[in-house]
Chain A
Amino acid sequence: MTRKQKRLSVIVAGLAFLAAAAGLTFYALGQKASYFYMPAELATASVQPGQRIRLGGLVESGTVVRGSGATVAFSVTDTQKSIKVTYTGILPDLFREGQGVITEGAFGSDGVFVADSVLAKHDERYMPKEVADGLKAKGVWVESKSQ
C-alpha cells in the first residue's frame, strides 16, 4: 500500500470505530437515562410500571410509616399531587418530613413507587436542585430563611 492508502485505511478504521462508539452511546442514552418527574407531571407523562424514573418532591408530613424490618413508606408531594413510595434500606441522615428528596426506582403494578435509592444532600439548607426548580415553576417555593 502506498503511504496515502495506508493513512486512509487507518482513518477509515478509526472513524468506523468512533461511529460504533457513538451509536452505542446514543442507544444507551435513549435506553438508560432516567427522567425526572414531580408527582403532578406523572398524570400527563406516560410512565410504564417497571420503567426507571426519578421522582422528586417534598416528603409529605405525617405520611412516613416505618414498616416491618427496614422498609419505610412515605408520600412524595409537590403540594398538588402526592405519590406513595416504599423504600427498603437506610434513609439519608437528612430525610425528614417536609424536606425535599429525590427517589429513584420504578412503579410497581399496584401504582406504588418502589424506590431503590433515596437522595438528600449533606446540608441543612438542602433542597435538590431539580425539586427546587420544580417547586419554583409551580409557584409554591418559599425562599429559605438562611441565606
Chain B
Amino acid sequence: MVETGHFALVLAFALSLVQMLVPLVGARTGNQRLMAVGGPVTVTGFALTALSFTALASAYAGSDFSVANVWENSHSLQPMIYKITGTWGNHEGSMLLWVLILTFFGALVAVFGNNLPATLKANVLAVQGMIGAAFFLFILTTSNPFIRLNPAPVEGRDLNPVLQDLGLAIHPPLLYLGYVGFSVCFSFSVAALIEGRIDASWARWVRPWTLVAWMFLTGGIAMGSYWAYYELGWGGFWFWDPVENASFMPWLAGTALLHSAIVMEKRSALKIWTLLLAILTFSLSLLGTFLVRSGVLTSVHAFATDPARGVFILCILTLFIGGSLALFALRASSLTAGGLFHPISREGALVLNNLFLTTAAATVLVGTLYPLALEALTGGKISVGAPFFDLTFGPLMVPLLVIVPFGPLLAWKRGDVIAASQRLVAAFALALAAMLVTGLFIDGASVFAALGVGLAVWLVAGALTDLAVKSGAGSVAPAVMLRRFAGLPRSVFGTALAHLGLGLTLLGIVGTLCFGTEKILTMRPGETVDLSGHTLRFEGLFPQKGPNFTEDRARFLLIGADGNANGEISSAKRFFQARQMATTESGIRTLGLSQLYLSLGDEDNDGSVVVRLWWKPLVTLIWGGGLVMMAGAAMSLADRRLRVGAPARRRKPAAALTSPT
C-alpha cells in the first residue's frame, strides 16, 4: 500500500507536467482537443494524489513503523484519531495535504467549469498544473513521506504531544483549504494575463473562489487562535508570532480581494487592481508556506529544519511571484481600463477598504520580514512583537472599522454620505450609549475600552441597519418589510453577517484585553481563591493514566454564592513517555460568553502548586465572530448569482447579454 502511494505520487507529478503543458499549447494554438486534455488529466491527478494521501494515512492508522515518517511521528498506543491526524502533523505529511487540496481545487475547476470559455479553462488548469508540478517535485525530492526503514523499528517515536489534540484535525485542513483556495484566483489571474483579456464575467468566476478560500482561511485562523489559546496555556489568543502573521497576511489581502472583486463584477472598474490583488494574495499564501515550512522561523510549526527545503520553497516562491508579477508588468497595460466613479460611492468606499487592508497587510509583512532581513544583512537579532503591531496595525484598523457600516449603505456610482449617515443615526446612538455605559458604569474601564466597545457596537448595529434599510424599515408596513427582508439577496445577508461577525470579534478582543483579570499564586489543597467574583477551591492533585501518557490532574471546584460547589475545572501536567516530554493541559470553564481559564505551574515538595488564573470576559466572541464571518461567506456563496460552477446556468438568456449592474 505504501509503495502504491509512492507510485501514485510520482504519477501525479507526471500528470501535473502534462496538465501544465498540453492545455497551454492547446489554448495557444486554438486546438480544441489539446485543451480538452486538461480536464480529465486534472481529475486523474487529484484521484492519484488522494490515493497517495490515503496510503500514507492508512500507514499511520495501522502504525506501520517501517515507514520513516510514521516512525518519527506516531506511536502504537496513541488514540486512533491522533494516529490519523498525525498524517499531517509533520512536515512531509502536511505538504502532501497541501498538494491534495491543490489538486482538489483544480479538479473542482475541471468538473464545474464547463461553462467557462474553453481557452480560459485550459489556461487556468495549466497554471494550476504548474503550481502542482512545483510542489510535487518539492515533496518527491526533499520531503518524501514514503521513505522506508529497514529493519522496521518496533515502536514509533510518538507525535509531538502538543499536536495530540483535536485542533490538529481541524486547523491545518481549514487553513490549507484557505491558503490553497487562493491558488484558483491566482490561476484565473495568470490565465487572464496570458489571454490578455479580462472582463466582468471574469470577476464572476473569481468571486466564488475567493469567497470559498476566504471562508476557510477565516475558519483556519480562528481555529488556530483558539487552539493556541487553550493548548499553550498562556491564555493569549493572538501573539503576533510570525507564523500567525503568515496566515493573517493572505487573509487581509484576500479580504481586500473579496471587496474589489465586487466592484469589478458590478461596475467593471478596478479590473487591473483586482487581478494584481489575486496574484498578491496567493503570493502571500506561498510566502506563508515558505515561512512556516522552511524552518527560517523557530516555532511550533517548524517540525524539522532542512536547508534544502528552505531553498527549494524559496525557488518556488521566486518563480511564481516573480513570474506572475513580470507577466503582469508585461500585460497589464494591454488590458482595458475600467470605468471611473465618484469618490463618494460604494466603489469609493470599497477602494478605501482596499487601501486600508493592503496597507495593513504591508505593515504586517514588514514587521514579519524585517527581523529576518536584518539578521541576514547585519546579523543583529531583534524580535518584533505586539508593541510594534499595536502601534502600526491598530491605527490602520480603527478608521477602516469606522467606515465599514457606511459602505453597504452607499449607492453605486454616486453615493450620498448625508443620507447614509441619517440612516445610521440609530446605530450611532447605540454605539455612543454603549461607550458611555462602559466608560461611566464599569469599574476600571479605560478610554480605550469605552471606545473599543463603542466601535464594536457600531459595527454590529451598522450591519443590522443595513438589513433594516434594505428591507424598507420606516417607509413600508411591517408585513411588507418582513416580505422584503425574506426576499433580500443572500449576498446582502452575507455582507451583513460578515460585518456583524467582525464586530463580535472586536467586542471579544476588547472585553478580554480591557476587562480581563489574572492572578498568579501558589495554592495548597483546600485553599480558595477569588477572581472577579468567582471563587475556586483547590481540591488537590490526582494522578491519572492516559493511553500514552501519565498525568497529575489538579481539580478545582467552582464555589457558588451559597457555598456549594457548582462546577469543576481541572488542569493537568501530562508526561509523555515516548518523547520524555511534559505538557500542560489548561482548565477552561465557559460561563456565558466568558471563560475562566486556569493553568498549572510547578508543584512544590509540600504539595502546593503554582496556579495562574484568568477571567476572560466575552472571550468566546473572538472565535464566535469568526464563525459568523464564515457563515456570512457561506451565505454569499449560496447567492444564486454566485453559485459555484453555475453562475450563468440559472440566468435568463436576456440577462446574460446585458452587462450586470
Contact = CB atoms under 8 A, between A and B. Distances in A.
B520 A128 contact: no
Contact of A35 (B298, B362, B382): B382
A33 B382 contact: yes
Given A35-B382, A128-B298, A25 B520 contact: no
A112 interface: no
Contacts of A70: 520-522, 601, 610, 612
B162 interface: yes
A7 B612 CA distance: 57
Contacts of B580: 124
B294 to A, nearest CB: 13
Given A69-B521, A90-B233, A129-B298, A122 B384 contact: no
Interface in B571-607: 573, 579-584, 599-602, 604
Interface stretch (B390-398, B435-443, B559-567): B390-398
Contacts of A69: 520-522
Interface stretch (B209-217, B328-336, B363-371): B363-371
B89 to A, nearest CB: 12
Contacts of B370: 29, 33
A70 B387 CA distance: 26
B340 A3 contact: yes
Given A21-B362, A69-B522, A124 B388 contact: no
A94 B581 contact: yes
B382 A89 contact: no
Nearest to A71: B520
A17 interface: yes
A145 interface: no
Contacts of B343: 10
Interface in A1-49: 3, 6-7, 10, 14, 17-18, 21, 24-25, 27-29, 31-36
Interface string A126-143: 001110000000000000
Interface in B41-92: none
Tell me what chain B mostly uses at the interface: helix, strand, loop, or mixed: mixed
A81 interface: no
B142 to A, nearest CB: 17
B76 to A, nearest CB: 20
B548 interface: no
Contacts of A122: 160-162, 300, 581, 583
B474 interface: no
A54 interface: yes
Contact of A34 (B160, B233, B385, B601): B385
Contact of A93 (B387, B396, B584): B584
B548 to A, nearest CB: 15
A122 B380 CA distance: 25
B359 interface: yes
Contacts of B583: 93, 122
B384 A89 contact: no
Tell me what chain A mostly uses at the interface: helix, strand, loop, or mixed: mixed
Contact of B601 (A14, A25, A28, A90): A90
B355 interface: yes
A121 B160 CA distance: 12
Given A90-B233, A94-B582, A32 B520 contact: no
Nearest to A10: B343
A28 B392 contact: yes
B395 A24 contact: yes
A94 B391 CA distance: 32
Given A54-B383, A70-B610, A33 B388 contact: yes
Nearest to A36: B381
A93 B429 CA distance: 49
20 contacts: A3-B340, A7-B340, A17-B355, A24-B392, A25-B366, A28-B387, A31-B387, A31-B391, A32-B388, A33-B383, A36-B381, A54-B383, A70-B601, A93-B582, A94-B581, A104-B383, A121-B298, A122-B160, A122-B162, A124-B581
Interface of B: 160-162, 233, 298, 300, 340, 343, 355, 359, 362-363, 366-367, 370-371, 380-385, 387-388, 391-392, 395-396, 520-522, 573, 579-584, 599-602, 604, 610, 612
Given A90-B602, A90-B610, 9 more contacts: A28-B392, A29-B384, A32-B391, A36-B381, A52-B387, A70-B601, A91-B601, A123-B160, A123-B581
Interface of A: 3, 6-7, 10, 14, 17-18, 21, 24-25, 27-29, 31-36, 52, 54, 66, 69-70, 88-91, 93-94, 104, 121-124, 128-130
